[in-house]
Amino acid sequence: MKLLRIYILMPLIFVAAMTANGQSYQQTATGIQTVIDSVQIEIGFYSPSTVRILKWPAGTTFTKKSLSVIEKPQKTAFRVSQSGDNLVLKSKKLRVSLNLSSGQVEFSTPSGKSLLKEEKSGVKFTNYNDAGEKTYHVYQAFVLDKNEDIYGLGQQQQGRMVQRNLKLHMIQGNTDDYVPFFVSDKGYGMFWDNYSPTTFSDNQERTFFKSDVGNCVDYYFMYGNNPDGAIARMRDLTGQAPMFPLWTFGYWQSKERYKSQDELVGVVRKYRELGVPLDGIIQDWQYWGNNYLWNAMEFLNTEYYSPQKMVDDVHSMNAHMIISIWSSFGPMTKPYRELNKIGALLSFKTWPESGVQKWPPNMDYPSGVRVYDAYNPKARDIYWKYLNKGIFSLGIDGWWMDSTEPDHLEFKPSDLDEKTYLGPFRKVRNAYPLMTVGGVYTHQRAVTSAKRVFILTRSAFAGQQRYAANTWSGDVSSSWQSLRNQIPAGLNFSLSGIPYWNSDIGGFFAGAYNRSWNGTKGAKNPLFQELYVRWLQFGAFTPMMRSHGTDIPREIYQFGKKGEPVYDAIAKAINLRYSLLPYIYADAWQVTHNQSTMMRALMMDFNDPKVRNMNNEYMFGKSILVAPVVHAQYTPEKIPQNKPGSGPDEAPASNKTQSTIDFTQSKSKKVYLPAGTVWYDFWTNEKHKGGQEINQKTEIDEIPLYIKAGSIIPFGPKVQYATQKKWDDLEIRVYPGANGQFTLYEDENDNYDYEKGIYSTITFNWNNARKILTINSRKGTFPGMLEQRKFRIILVSPNNGAGMSTNERNGKTVTYTGKKISVRF
């Protein structure tokens, strides 16, 4: 047995030693290359923690430029050793073994702890003719530990947290966004770098990816020691998430759809009159006119008589406006004609099908709407040219990119034969959202750095976080089951490496609640009111708080008036969101600067077996445990039926009547508190030991929230919009029981100067044993920064109730000038 150890630093390629059976390999600057059973295998380190595995049929050649991976291999020190048929590549963070006889690859820690291994003979290439291009179906199988949990793979509506023992046909859809990346509770991640329709399957025998098209098997294995570390390595590969403007973390109002500029401006004005906070208003489709003018990127609808005045009116009330844009164009639009000239329109059926704006579609008058080829750089240039001229020039603040999967009606496999700029559509199908969203981001960044890009989009693919995109969960239905599904959908999406996610508060399709029930319907129907309030409370603890849907308008005044339980509950949730903006904005900085995740599955932070598969609670940032109410407590969960056939949640008529529904009554629900820490009830400051399930009292206006011991949370002023008041008098709540740290982040709120280091941070440290809060010296500076401010520090205790006024609490006020100070309790 011969042992060979070589330290690689220079970009050299040379033939290394032969094994006993004559199998050779080549050593490269990043790893090794070899051929085993007619399969060319390349193993290359991208960093000490990340390695790429590339396989293809020996004797063939191809070129591949990844659409997701933008990182280049770093210069990585590693050693190669050989023992019989076993070849080992070892970096500071990772050990990769290759069996030179079978071709099986195994990943482990440097100390030898097994993480993941391929199945023996687990790679397959099957000849395939992809619309005239010779290629392969590609397949790679792995063996996971039987008790191992994995997460991620994008967003699905199945209500599952752990992604084991399932089969997914991964092709982008309206409410399902597929990202072929998963994270293991063993601390590693794996990214399957393929853009064609893909099957992911997992059972007790094997776990595999099988893609319709590929010249090679191409995947990345990354070890981060924990899920956060694995996600960080994925973002190293595919791009970091930039900062959103502060105002995007406020409250957003929308519906399908505002039909005139007067209606839209009137909604903002009404919120200001009511004194309910609002930062964003959204204009949905048809501002361009009829379906033949679909997505014209101009205000051709006469109800929008002065688009510039509309935008100016919204801005004059200190609100922001984003607008719906699509991936398709009607035949009478200027973009359609220019795109058609360069062959950059695809011909499969998309929505809307008819030029007549009635339902169902009248196919005697086909719309002629076609999806554009977002893979074509010239097509992306044309898309932005019209978007910039017709919309962005008016001062629109962001983009609602709808149907970015895109809509594909009456799907036929032959539709995927259609040629795009990068080849047959089948080859690149799942990366469509990445390309179209990236086109808008890249072009806007080239135009200005004074306004941060903000994109709301319906679909996503690996790497999309680098394009300032916040993905929503699509046109989900309005039901309690749909609400329950949103929590694991958002958590698994976040665990796919893309940190910004939200859902239509109240659910999109709400028509079933428009049936009269005891004389009420729509927003006055108590069945919908309860669902909406609970969804809104959940939405307050997602990266974007956005109310939207069809059938029932969602503005707060549709639900009643001040002093009524439902109205007051809605207002309370919105105001709570605004009070937490300093906490949320600081967490957004952690996402950008330290690769953190805002919506956090409990398994990310707690070594507690009971939370590994928990799909109804999560952490919002590192301090706040959110346990949304996801079951009806006051009304029937199933919609009572007076007539058959009127909705998905049909149930026999209920004996309950409107008079029995009292939203002022107290209810209760079970909440599990993860082990390993002490928890504080946010509303009462009552302390609870972790590792137990408690019976939590609930009110219609309160979502169960718990704060982890050791947390330091800043609370902002009462405002009508995010930047109305400076943070010169913040309340800082310290939750004792453990040491803690929090970094307050501030910048100019809406430009890219932070990328140049123009921002400030103030780090707070709590020493629990000494009962001292240290406010460290401020780091950094930016124009408009507060040179002096007050911090009102509250040491939280059960006798120091959250409901008490500031003057009643046992607090201390300090004046801070940027120099380190300590406060002793």
List active site positions: 402, 405, 475
Tokens standing for residue 78: 């590693």
Give the number of residues written for the chain. Answer: 825
CA angle 133, 134, 137 (to 5 degrees): 110
Residue type, 597: T
b (16+ CB within 10 A) / e for 697-716: ebbbbbbbbbbbbbbbbbbb
Q: Is the preceding peptide bond at 377 cis, omega within 30 degrees of 0?
A: no
Q: List the Cα angle 274/276/277 in 5-degree steps.
A: 140
Does residue 477 sit in helix, strand or coil?
A: strand
For residue 188, the tally of other CB atoms under 10 A from its CB is 26
Q: Is the peptide bond before 360 cis (omega within 30 degrees of 0)?
A: yes
State the Rg of the chain over Cα: 28
Instruction: Find out whether 2 and 21 touch, Cβ atoms under 8 Å.
Output: no
CA-CA-CA-CA dihedral for 94, 99, 103, 107, to nearest 10? -20
How many angstroms separate the Cα of 753 from the Cα of each of 43, 236, 448, 470, 749? 39, 22, 12, 21, 10
Distant-in-sequence, close-in-space partners of 360: CB < 8 Å, separation ≥ 6 = none
Beta bridge partners of residue 775, listed in sequence order: 764, 821
Which residues in 271-298 are b (16+ Cβ under 10 Å) and which e? bbebebbbbbbbbbbbbbbbbbbbbbbb
CA dist 609 and 603 (Å) reads: 8
Helix axes of 307-316 and 261-274: crossing angle, nearest 10 degrees: 10
Tokens of 577: 């969101």
Q: How far, in Å, CA of 513 to CA of 551, rounded?
A: 9
Asked if 713 and 732 count as a contact pair (C-beta separation under 8 A), the reply is yes
Q: SS3 sequence, 172-204?
A: CCCCCECCCEEEECCCEEEEECCCCCEEEEECC
Please provide the DSSP assignment of 423-476 as one string. EEHHHHGGGHHHHHHHHHHHHHHHH-SSS---EEES---TTGGGGTEEEE--S-
**Can you read off the two tokens belonging to residue 561?**
């008036």
Helix (H/G/I), strand (E/B), else coil: 604: helix
HSE-up of 594 (CA within 13 Å, CB side)?
13
Q: Where are the beta strands (DSSP E) in 12-149?
A: 14-15, 25-27, 31-36, 39-47, 50-57, 78-83, 86-91, 95-99, 105-108, 114-130, 133-143
Residue 3: count of CB within 10 angstroms of its CB: 8
C-beta neighbour count of 357 within 10 angstroms: 13
